[in-house]
A and B are shown apart, each in its own frame.
Chain A
Amino acid sequence: MKQPVLISNMEEFMEGVWKQNPVFVMVLGMCPTLAVTVSTLNALSMGLATAFVLIASCGLVSLLRKVIPKEVRIATYILIIATFVTAVDYAIQAISLALYDALGAFIQLIVVNCIILGRAEAHASKNPPLAAMINAAGMSAGFTIGLLALGTVREILGAGTLLGFSLFGPQFQPWVIMLLPPGGFFVLGGWLLLFAWYEKRKQGRLGGEVQHV
């Protein structure tokens, strides 16, 4: 069954955004997800940095998929990813030193983000460059959405601001725990609960048929 190109590309993209969302469904790449999401801005920059590395390395892996010997493929992927991460690291340092300090070592730790290696191995090594990059773009969008979902909640509750603008006025007593490590775990746990509830409700509507994906 051959689908029109545009629709199948769109489906490929949405796969990463919704059905296979790396943060909420696959629970991958947790370290940066929890560590940098103390504010919306940090979350957004981390998402974009990861997106660049993910799309670029998937594209390159896909281009080289027939050249790379099977035995050393993982090492090769890691080298490719590390190269792009080094580039991003220097770029962020040049663009904004404040942001670089806020994200700290977590920019370099993009190398060990399981999402990227997972995509390179599971998808990019078997598909042509364009498809691989579209898939990677979907995953990046899903990852960024996940980071934003956490960052926004934590910033609003923990500091009473959104992107630095005060939301509730000076009377608001910030919920500082949300900015501290436990808050990260609680907020992500809360989001997962919400999705589990949504999933269950949807299944209930479909006639109570229980399906585990």
Chain B
Amino acid sequence: MSESALQIFISALLANNFVLAMFLGLCPFLGVSGKLETAFPMGVATTFVMLVASLCAFGLNLLLTALHLEFLRLIAYIVIIASAVQLVEMVLKKYSPALFRALGIYLPLITTNCAVLGVALFQTAREYDFVQSVAFSLGGGAGFTLALVLMAGVRERLRLSDVPGLAQGTAMTLMLAGILSLAFMGFAGIGS
């Protein structure tokens, strides 16, 4: 593995965008992307959880490998992530109750966000070192936020336009995601 941290960051942000190219974290992507003012904080919260999860997963992986307990990896990761989410939830509840209510059920659901577990699993599978892992989680989080914000922007505009009755709701959102994903394919090759 000789990729530089910057390459990994750019690749996770654009060419291999978590949501639009790797299909990770679609539930919040479809659920919270209705309004810009919730989409951005959600992205930041997820990025933070990703960073914490990635750091913990890195340390845990060293420990588990040293003890020859690799089969516990998945279980250990998910417990770490759940604790990190709990932490974010408590901090948000204390410092920004309005935001806490706006994010609602999607906040605890970060635990079951594939993107967060995905970061931990992919960095293990690709044998990233410490700096690479941090770059990967930050890039992934930034990419997730970018996709969420772009989608929210499009959907806010769409509310004023005349969508055919049949296509309203999820079908429309999926088609939009497809078009966004098509646009992101233009970045293929960057960072690799």
Pair A181/B74 contact, Cβ less than 8 Å? no
The B interface, classified by DSSP as helix, strand, loop or mixed, is helix
Residues of B contacting A184 in the complex (Cβ-Cβ under 8 angstroms):
23, 178
Q: Which residue of B lies closest to A35 (CB)?
A: B23
CB pair A78–B175 under 8 Å, yes or no, is no
User: Which residues does chain B contribute within 8 Å of A180, judged by CB atoms?
Assistant: 185
Number of A-B contacts (CB under 8 A): 109
Stretch at the interface among A4-12, A62-70, A141-149, A191-199: A191-199
| Number of B positions contacting A (CB below 8 A) | 41
Interface centre among A27, A183, A185 (most CB of B within 10 A): A185
Across-interface contacts of B130 in A (CB, < 8 A): none
Query: Complex formed: what's the CA distance from A152 to B97 in Å?
Result: 46
Q: Which of B27, B108, B114, B174 contacts A185 (CB 8 A)?
A: B174
22 chain-A/chain-B pairs, Cβ below 8 angstroms: A27-B30, A30-B23, A31-B23, A31-B25, A35-B23, A35-B24, A78-B111, A79-B78, A109-B24, A109-B117, A109-B118, A112-B78, A112-B112, A181-B20, A181-B21, A181-B22, A182-B178, A183-B178, A184-B23, A192-B170, A193-B166, A193-B167
Using a CB–CB cutoff of 8 Å, the interface residues on chain B facing chain A are 20-27, 30, 71, 74-75, 78-79, 82, 108-109, 111-114, 117-118, 121-122, 125, 165-167, 169-172, 174-175, 177-179, 181-182, 185
Binding site for B on A (CB under 8 A): 27-28, 30-31, 34-35, 74-75, 78-79, 82-83, 85-86, 89-90, 104-105, 108-109, 111-114, 117, 177, 180-186, 188-189, 192-193, 196-197, 200
